[in-house]
Amino acid sequence: MSTYKFFEQVNKNFDKAAPYTRFEKGLLDQIKIANQVYEITFPIRRDDGSIDVIKGWRVEHSHHKLPTKGGIRYSRIVNEDETKALAALMTYKCALVDVPFGGAKGGIAVDKRKYSDKEMERITRRYTYELIKKNFIGPAVDVPAPDYGTGSREMGWIVDTYRQFSNDLNAEGCVTGKPIQQGGVRGRTEATGMGVFFGIREACSKADDMKALGLETGVDGKTFIVQGLGNVGYHASKYMTEAGASLVGVAEQEGSIYKKDGIDLESLMAFRNETGSIMDFEGAINLPDKSTVLTEPADILIPAALENQINEGNAKDVKVKILAEAANGPTSSEAHDILKEKGVLIIPDAYLNAGGVVVSYFEWLKNLQHVRFGRIEKRFDENALRNVLDAVENLSSIKFSDIERLNLTQGAGEFELVKSGLEETMVTAYNEILGARSEYDVDLRTASFIVAINKVGTIYEQMGIFP
């Protein structure tokens, strides 16, 4: 196991912000600590008939709001410290973007490449069963979601397993990130990457900050590097390039590549699907190893893989002006200080990757409401808009073309509503963090912790300490 203490790193950031809040030490300790930690070991039968013992965790960091919420990670290096750290980040993240959940996280220490799909299904279903037994899952208790190494497939297995043991009308709300047919919401798959884009776009719209970095405002024309082309890294890159940014560097497990005049994202994805690797992509330079690209030149670096990627070892060589933390905890506390000294604008993880939980919140609401967003009002809105256009045509010489009519009368469907709710949330939260940054003259990370601690602490104050 690595000696890197992720939970301690999160708490270091918390401790930097705590003196700017009004709360007494005891209350701050209560906010910081993990409320419930469940370590599970269980056996699974392998395809060859042998038995493997699997280890997993679920951590509910904060019960100040229920249900608790947080993803499930599948990785060889999952451990209790990491799960606690990620659960704590969820508490602060939910507070930052005003979604009514306490923070949680789960994980299974498993190398997916060593197990068949059938074995992964057995592991996921058994883990879910263990959570059910101990009341660590349920729409009103604790609601998992995808994280590193998991996606809608695993969430589908989880909801199906949960339903075997529950006739709760709201059972679908026991997990988010599900396939649409099992109660998922349109837009959840791309939500985290889309939120990363909205956050970067908002940061790049601030003229004073961009001037201080020697950059123009806007995403258009900026260059960026991405580490990890998984769910978050791919979608963040997709929206960045659609907005006119140029992808110049990419890292994946097999290595890293750089191309000064821009890498076509979809061609690279197709190339990797075909060859199993990003290496030797046409026109790009193969770099010596997967971490080299982190110190190549660009305007923005988007780490979207795992924690502790930018650390004391490489921070001084980082050349970008903006570090956009799409992954959780990609920057060690020491690296943060080095980058801050160099004047890098760090958009912190707890804010930047909150898009996933925001849209998970929408999915949970959809499950409790039992109706798709937009279903009731879409056609009504379209008819009303058509009436307005008819009236404009009758009262003036204006005539709308069929295309104009189509564009102007489109009612919002589920995806459009989810996207607009996410955009609103990311923009509002960024400006709230900026408010704290200027009030206390701190960096964005400390400002985000101040905002989050104030929200969680206020709830604890109002609740009082029971009994």
338: helix, coil or strand? helix
353 touches ligand NAD (CB under 6 A): yes
305 touches ligand NAD (CB under 6 A): yes
Helix 355-369 × helix 80-96 angle, to 10° = 70
Give the total residue count for the chain.
Answer: 467
**In angstroms, rounded to a whole number, what is the distance separating the alpha carbons of residues 20 and 13?**
12
For ligand NAD, the binding residue among 252, 296, 325, 414 (CB under 6 A) is 252
For ligand NAD, the binding residue among 10, 72, 229, 322 (CB under 6 A) is 229
Kindly write out the interface string for residues 327-346 of this chain, putting x where it contacts ligand NAD by CB under 6 A and - elsewhere.
xx------------------
What tokens were used for 340? 């801050």
251 touches ligand NAD (CB under 6 A): yes
Residue nearest ligand NAD, Cβ-based: 230
147 touches ligand NAD (CB under 6 A): yes
Please say whether the beta carbons of 412 and 382 come within 8 A: no
Residue 307 identity (one-letter amino acid): E
User: Whole-number minimum distance, CB 97 to ligand NAD, in Å?
Assistant: 12
Q: Which is nearer to ligand NAD, 87 or 322 (CB)?
A: 87
For residues 62-81, which are near ligand NAD according to CB under 6 A?
71
219 touches ligand NAD (CB under 6 A): no
Phi, psi dihedral angles at 175 (to 5 degrees): -155, 150
**In angstroms, rounded to a whole number, what is the distance separating the alpha carbons of residues 148 and 75?**
7
Please say whether the beta carbons of 58 and 106 come within 8 A: yes
Phi, psi dihedral angles at 351 (to 5 degrees): -85, -55
The CA-based dihedral angle spanning residues 146, 151, 155, 157, taken in that order and rounded to the nearest 10 degrees: -140
User: Whole-number minimum distance, CB 305 to ligand NAD, in Å?
Assistant: 4
306 touches ligand NAD (CB under 6 A): yes
For ligand NAD, the binding residue among 173, 187, 356, 374 (CB under 6 A) is 356
Please say whether the beta carbons of 51 and 44 come within 8 A: yes
Kindly write out the interface string for residues 127-146 of this chain, putting x where it contacts ligand NAD by CB under 6 A and - elsewhere.
-------------------x
Task: Please give the residue ranges that form the binding site for ligand NAD (CB under 6 A).
Answer: 71, 146-149, 192, 227-233, 251-253, 290, 304-306, 326-328, 353, 356
